[in-house]
């Protein structure tokens, strides 16, 4: 079984320049976890490119729920979480088997 983890965030800032900067900051920090957090099988992340959608999204695959848990509790991921929480207003996530 592979577990797919999908997350999207809305940036809290109202001005477009800051929104774009924060979205890219989230994407860059999460992408940097590949090769650092061993339980990540695949990870795609990026800022939104179409008006009217959420601001940044992540799609990551893990071997199973234990691997997802290892990612979520990994100290390097927790450092990214702290940044994300400081710049977002909302988060939505879903995990499903593929």
**What's the pLDDT score for residue 51?**
87
Domain count, the chain: 1
Per-residue pLDDT of the chain (98 residues; tens, 9 = 90+): 899 999 999 999 999 999 999 999 999 999 999 999 999 999 999 999 998 899 999 999 999 999 999 999 999 999 999 999 999 999 999 999 99
- 4-14 residue pLDDT tens: 999 999 999 99
**pTM summary value:** 0.96
Q: Please give the residue range of the domain that contains residue 38.
A: 3-97
Relative orientation angle of helices 65-73 and 75-87, to the nearest 10 degrees: 70
Distance CA 12, CA 58 (A): 18
**CATH code: domain of residue 11:** 3.30.70.100
Distance CA 26, CA 80 (A): 8
């Amino acid at each position: 079984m592979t577990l797919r983890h999908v997350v999207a965030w809305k940036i809290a800032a109202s001005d477009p320049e800051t929104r774009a900067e924060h979205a890219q900051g989230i994407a860059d920090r999460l992408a940097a976890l590949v090769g650092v957090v061993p339980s990540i099988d695949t990870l795609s992340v990026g800022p939104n490119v179409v008006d009217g959608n959420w601001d940044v999204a992540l799609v990551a695959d893990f071997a199973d729920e234990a691997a997802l848990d290892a990612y979520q509790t990994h100290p390097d991921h927790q450092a990214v979480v702290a940044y994300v929480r400081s710049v977002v207003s909302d988060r939505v996530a879903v995990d499903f088997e593929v």
